[in-house]
Amino acid sequence: MSGSRLTIQKLGPMGDGIHEEGRTRIYVDRTAPGDLIEAQVSKDKDGILRGEVAKLLEPSRFRQEAPCPYYDRCGNCTLQHLTPAFYRNWKSQMVRDAFQKQGLRPRQWLEPVYLGRQRRRRVTFTALKRRNQILLGYYRRRSDQITDIDACLIAEPKILDLRNAIKPFLSAALKDGKSVDIFLQVVGQAVDVVVTGPVVKEALVQLREVPGITRLSWQASEKESIQEVFAKGSVVAAFGTLKVPLPPGAFLQPTQEGEETLVNAVISALPTKGKFADLFSGCGTFSGPMLKLGSVDAFESLPAAVSTLSKAAAAKPLKVFRRDLFRRPLRRDEINRYDAVVFDPPRAGCAAQAEELASSKTRTLVGVSCNPATFARDARILCDGGYWLQSLQLVDQFLWSHHVEVVGVFTRQKRKSP
Ligand SMILES: C[S@@+](CC[C@H](N)C(=O)[O-])C[C@H]1O[C@@H](n2cnc3c(N)ncnc32)[C@H](O)[C@@H]1O
């Protein structure tokens, strides 16, 4: 379809504008409800109708000029063209809708937290050498083209400084026509770098000269093991009083402030004393601070995270267990040993674990999730088992994307939740 006139009625879950007419649904990137546009419409490989804005005929009142000069060409941010008020309201409504769909309403909505610009401490750039030119930036949306950027409004400034310092070294390290991913993570004063893809390994060593890099590792692909190329110091995260030397590319919450907000939300929901479990513990983001309230058993499937957290746990009341909680969720009798359980699963959620939690007697459960839909599904399981959803809090540490973090507190009651 060429030159279709479309009115955008709402945003979909990935933040695309939606034009609906009868049973036809057309998704259009970077539009806002109320936009009247002329669009080129085509079917993508999944059979979804997608429109490209050819002309903005009447702009929505929810539009603003995108603050980033790369916004039209870079696929990293998708919601910069929305006014801050609309953007925040949309995110909060997305969480409310997910829970409403499951017939759930918390007793209390806690004040949402929206983090601002330049807070991301972990970023993955893509680098490509083409005819001796280096592109280093982000993919365009739904494209294999890379936009070379030398500014980014979401990343910590230190990351951009490093990106600019690394770029001149890539010419020798990259192979023509082959792209690599370059992951940078700021951990306190240290910076951890992981390069993934085909490189000239000897040339990678020269990146040692870049002052800000603490450690650089390489892997041939995401499935291959990570090899350290050099380390000028250690990369240590502080979770409460627990100091954890991180393995290369370790998972951390995407922003320091977001981590602090989530930790505060978790700690304030727990009893002030007791025995706790931290499920999907990663390297100990919550386990560490929970130690000030009592003893903690941490459960995690990733070997590198389990091993590093185990070493850090020496002389602390912290035990670490390697366990696949999808295949072998903590059983009801095991859960009953704890005064409270914290769970922070990956995006898929943890339905099987939620079933076991739902049948337990443990008084307090605290869930943290980056996927409101699976979190609401799991919350339904808990509430069907007799837990009350006491509170929900939105923590937006993914500025200008459709992602959002949510913390939910559940308490066991005699009567079932509605
Ligand atoms: C969202 S991260 C949270 C990590 C940690 N709580 C934090 O905030 O840093 C989810 C964690 O679940 C772990 N995980 C994924 N699948 C798992 C499984 N089947 N069993 C146990 N842990 C798993 C991942 O390795 C990751 O560490």
Calpha distance 61→215 (Å, rounded): 47
Longest alpha-carbon distance in the chain: 69
Q: Can you tell me which atom of ligand 1 is nearest the CA of 282?
A: 27
pLDDT-based confidence at residue 132 (cuts at 50, 70, 90): confident
Calpha distance 241→212 (Å, rounded): 25
Per-residue pLDDT, 414:
64
pTM for the whole thing? 0.95
Calpha distance 232→215 (Å, rounded): 6
The owner of tokens 């910069």 is 80
pLDDT-based confidence at residue 360 (cuts at 50, 70, 90): very high
Residues of the chain with pLDDT > 70: what percent?
98
Calpha distance 397→97 (Å, rounded): 19
Which is the catalytic residue, given 74, 77, 152, 370? 370
Nearest to 285 by CA among 315, 312, 317, 324: 312
Amino acid at 317: P
- Give residue 302 CA to ligand 1 midpoint distance, Å: 8
Calpha distance 90→324 (Å, rounded): 35
Per-residue pLDDT, 2:
58
Residue nearest to ligand 1 atom 8, measured at CA: 285
Span 290-345, pLDDT tens digits: 999 999 999 999 999 999 999 999 989 999 999 999 999 999 999 999 999 999 99
User: Tokens at residue 72, please?
Assistant: 């039209």
pLDDT-based confidence at residue 54 (cuts at 50, 70, 90): very high
Q: Can you tell me which atom of ligand 1 is nearest the CA of 342?
A: 6
Calpha distance 182→137 (Å, rounded): 9
Q: What burial letters (b/e) apply to 46-79, b meaning 16+ CB within 10 Å?
A: eeebbbebeeeeeebebbeebebebbebbbbbbb
- Report yes or no: 320 and 303 within 8 Å, Cβ to Cβ: no
- Give residue 374 CA to ligand 1 midpoint distance, Å: 15
DSSP 286-317: THHHHTTTEEEEEEE--HHHHHHHHHHTTTTT
- Report yes or no: 91 and 98 within 8 Å, Cβ to Cβ: no
The owner of tokens 């603003």 is 64
- Give residue 245 CA to ligand 1 midpoint distance, Å: 17
The owner of tokens 């020798």 is 172
Residue nearest to ligand 1 atom 1, measured at CA: 346
| HSE value, Cβ hemisphere, 13 Å, CA-based, for 87 | 24
Q: Which residues pair with 184 in a beta bridge?
A: 123, 193
Per-residue pLDDT, 1:
58
Residue range 353-375: average pLDDT? Answer: 98
Cα 58-63-67 angle, rounded to 5 deg: 130
Question: Rounded mean pLDDT of the chain?
Answer: 96
pLDDT at 113 exceeding the cut of 80: yes
Nearest to 306 by CA among 327, 328, 332, 279: 279
- Can you say whether residue 314 is alpha, beta or left, with left for phi > 0 and alpha for psi between -120 and 50 degrees? beta
Residue nearest to ligand 1 atom 13, measured at CA: 280
- Give residue 344 CA to ligand 1 midpoint distance, Å: 7
Per-residue pLDDT, 417:
47
Tabulate helix, strand, coil % of the chain (nearest 5): 25, 35, 40
Span 136-147, pLDDT tens digits: 999 998 888 999
pLDDT at 79 exceeding the cut of 50: yes
Residue range 204-219: average pLDDT? Answer: 96
Mutate to test the pocket of ligand 1, among 278, 301, 368 (most ligand atoms within 8 A of CB): 301
User: Tokens at residue 53, please?
Assistant: 């804005």
- Helix ranges restricted to H, 205-323: 256-269, 287-290, 303-312
As for ligand 1, residues whose beta carbon falls within 6 Å of it are 251-253, 280-282, 285-286, 300-302, 305, 324-326, 344-346
- Give residue 308 CA to ligand 1 midpoint distance, Å: 14
Calpha distance 261→258 (Å, rounded): 5
Span 215-229, pLDDT tens digits: 999 999 999 999 999
pLDDT-based confidence at residue 416 (cuts at 50, 70, 90): very low
Amino acid at 398: F
- Report yes or no: 82 and 88 within 8 Å, Cβ to Cβ: no
At 76, which helix (H) or strand (E)?
none
Active site residue 74: no
Calpha distance 258→395 (Å, rounded): 7
